[in-house]
Amino acid sequence: MIVRVAAAFLLACFAVPPAMTTVFAGSGRPQQAAMIGQNHALSRRAIRRDVPLTNAIVRAMEAGTRDFSGRPGPSYWQLQTDFTIDVRLDPATQTISGEETILVHNNSPSELTEIVLRLDHNIFRATVPRGSSVPAETTEGMVVTRIAVNGQEVDFDAPARGGRGRRGGRGNAPPRLAARGLDQTVAVVTLATPIAPRSTATLEIAWHTKLPGGPDGRGHRMTQRWDDTLFQPTQWFPRLAKYDDLRGWDTNVYLGPAEFYNNFGRFDVRIDVPAGWIVSGTGVLQNPEEVLTATARERLARALDTDDITTIVDADEVGPGRSTADGDRLVWHFVADMVNDFAWATAENFVWQVTRANIPGAGYIPIHMVFLPERANLFENAGPISRHALEFYSDLWAPYPFPQLTLQDGPSAGMEYPMVINSNRGAADHEVGHQWWPMMVGTNETWYGWMDEGFNQYMNILSGAHWRDLEPDLDGHGQRYGAVSGDESEPSMMWAANYGGAMYGFQTYSKTPLMLSMLGGIVGDEEVQRAIREYTEVWSFKHPSPWDYVFFMSNALEEDLGWFWYYWLWTTESVDGSIEDVTRSGSRTTVTVRQAGEMPSPVILEVQFADAGAAIQAMPNAEMVADTTAVVTWPVEVWFDGSRTFEAVLDFGGRAIEKITLDPGGRFPDGDPSDNVWPRDDGRPAAGR
């Protein structure tokens, strides 16, 4: 009663509040009505209907590289990096030593006055910043011993100054070829001669790095070997950072939990290991006749003939001449045409098995599995799970674009790389999902983890249901966000995931399926998936930003969803709907719906009629979903005038109404769904009567 009187009062006199008091509105949220402060329950709300445009996206739009269509703009560009790498593993010192040549295609319209390198293995040094990851072993990190740019050697003893980049311009000294930060995860090479727009440059780098091992690593990639018998190198080579139209060089440091934002390009990699060690990795093995036994080659040739598991190298086939070709050391040569990373693994006693997946347009491709014989139980069913994931996600979004998939055993069991997942059956479905993002759609996980892990969590729900022969059920997910909203440690999804803090996991992984559940509650789940399918096609092997995603989705769904993206991505607000009142007048029933939160939503009421009585008449915005059940929908626009209550008028004729449920699908964030039904489950009438 207090609420209604005060609301009427406030509407009449706007900002002049009623007597100082605290009341509880329908959702249970305390509503402070103070002389100075936030008159939450009683005030009108300002609903934002567009998304913030930061300087980065405004710059890109001005340059024509991105626009409100959500598709790559007419001037869109991205760098390409082609790697040629020779790497040698020394099991005795647990160290890999490599030499690489990076062919940098500067497809940007700018000259590059500096080059930014990512040296992820420096996270194993004791003196670099880290997130929640703890390496199993402190090492001297990625020790870079040589850098040459277009054949010119970088003098490591020369101070890095005089570069023409923003950071290098101290004093008036001429720009010189120098490097700084080689002991950090992000290093900078200043150039004496800039790399011209739309030209190429060659970067030669030599380095070595010890792969960390031991019992105390925490976080993926933080343990990369078991003793000196299995090695699982990841993020193991110096790479060129992203240089893009949004921010220029990506200088976000590598802290452990979030890692992906890489250039696409070709990888040509030669891996030198002791004979007898089996090597798996990204790409296609180029020289099976040099490194495999004739028996293994013969088994491989037949592996795509069956869905069954084919063993290529068995547990009792160990050592030079038995697991591999004979010799002292062997060089395994892999090539991958268009990928954004390269991972590999090797062990002396890997079991190697193969099954297959059927990819639309490509036919059968191999699924390789390499694991230690004593861990075979962890790989039981891993083949069928991976096959299902590859085939299901190919149908859902876009055909799997790569020629093979490999599951690698090791201490890091839940990581993704192009064509490679470091996973047994446990995380196989999820890690296969990453082949679509970020391996195919190259999103920036370090900033916007939700476009990577979050989309993946959503598709895993669909895949999981399909695996069990169930219809996917996204009901309830969106509503559950109401229980989280208001936690002040929650970063918004647009807050850089690298600095997500304690709720990084929620921000990056868990919240996106809730958001997409609500979107499905507005436009239908199939429509959401159709729009994401089109987004996948448009942005394959490119780098969409969040703005591209939201503009693309709004266009594909033909709906102005600015308000939706704003509240989900830029805020931590919820809807907090309730049925406040129900009154009847003749055949008309008026349902007073309240939204106590800042996020609006459509109003969806499920109306349950009595079994018998007068005919149920049609309403234009109602759909009969059963003989005595209707669902009535009002669009979100009913809230855009700022009011917190909406009078939903039901006019179905004389049939008695037994029950009304707000948001019956549980799609809209609500901290207390118990007040969404009339009459209340506890027998109380709705508030205000």
The residues of the shown chain that bind Zn ion, judged by CB under 5 A, are: 453
**Cα–Cα dist 437/416, whole Å:** 10
Scan for tokens 């055949």, then name that residue: 587
C-alpha distance from residue 395 to each of 283, 454, 459, 549 (Å): 23, 19, 12, 20
**Cα–Cα dist 160/135, whole Å:** 30
Residue 204 or 453: the one with the smaller Cβ distance to Zn ion is: 453
Nearest residue relative to Zn ion (C-beta):
453
**Cα–Cα dist 545/443, whole Å:** 7
Phi then psi dihedrals of residue 502, to 5 deg: -60, -30
Exposure string for 354-373, b = 16+ CB within 10 A, e = fewer = bbbbebeeeeebbbbbbbbe
Residue 453 or 573: the one with the smaller Cβ distance to Zn ion is: 453
Reduced to 3 states, what is the DSSP secondary structure of residue 296? helix
Residue 99 or 431: the one with the smaller Cβ distance to Zn ion is: 431
CB atoms within 10 A of CB 476: 13
- Contact between residue 176 and residue 192 where contact means Cβ atoms under 8 Å apart: yes
Reduced to 3 states, what is the DSSP secondary structure of residue 518? helix
Under 8 Å CB-to-CB from 42, ≥6 apart: which residues? 3, 6, 7, 10, 17, 18, 31, 33
Residue 453 or 534: the one with the smaller Cβ distance to Zn ion is: 453
The minimum distance between CB 219 and Zn ion, in angstroms, equals 13
- Preceding omega of 438 cis (within 30 degrees of 0): yes
Residue 268 or 453: the one with the smaller Cβ distance to Zn ion is: 453
Residue 439 or 686: the one with the smaller Cβ distance to Zn ion is: 439
Residue 450 or 565: the one with the smaller Cβ distance to Zn ion is: 450
Say which amino acid occupies 240.
L
The minimum distance between CB 192 and Zn ion, in angstroms, equals 41
The minimum distance between CB 111 and Zn ion, in angstroms, equals 37
The minimum distance between CB 509 and Zn ion, in angstroms, equals 7
**Cα–Cα dist 235/207, whole Å:** 13
Q: Which two tokens stand for residue 52?
A: 């913030």
The minimum distance between CB 493 and Zn ion, in angstroms, equals 16
The minimum distance between CB 230 and Zn ion, in angstroms, equals 22
The minimum distance between CB 453 and Zn ion, in angstroms, equals 5
Residue 77 or 437: the one with the smaller Cβ distance to Zn ion is: 437
Reduced to 3 states, what is the DSSP secondary structure of residue 30? strand
Residue 259 or 453: the one with the smaller Cβ distance to Zn ion is: 453
**Cα–Cα dist 268/266, whole Å:** 7
The minimum distance between CB 425 and Zn ion, in angstroms, equals 16
Maximal CA-CA distance, the chain: 93
The minimum distance between CB 233 and Zn ion, in angstroms, equals 19
Task: Please return the burial class of 213, using the count of CB atoms within 10 Å of its CB with bins 0-12, 13-18 and 19+.
Answer: buried
C-alpha distance from residue 593 to each of 22, 45, 75 (Å): 21, 15, 47
CB atoms within 10 A of CB 261: 22
The minimum distance between CB 392 and Zn ion, in angstroms, equals 17
Residue 391 or 453: the one with the smaller Cβ distance to Zn ion is: 453
The minimum distance between CB 419 and Zn ion, in angstroms, equals 16
- Contact between residue 275 and residue 330 where contact means Cβ atoms under 8 Å apart: yes
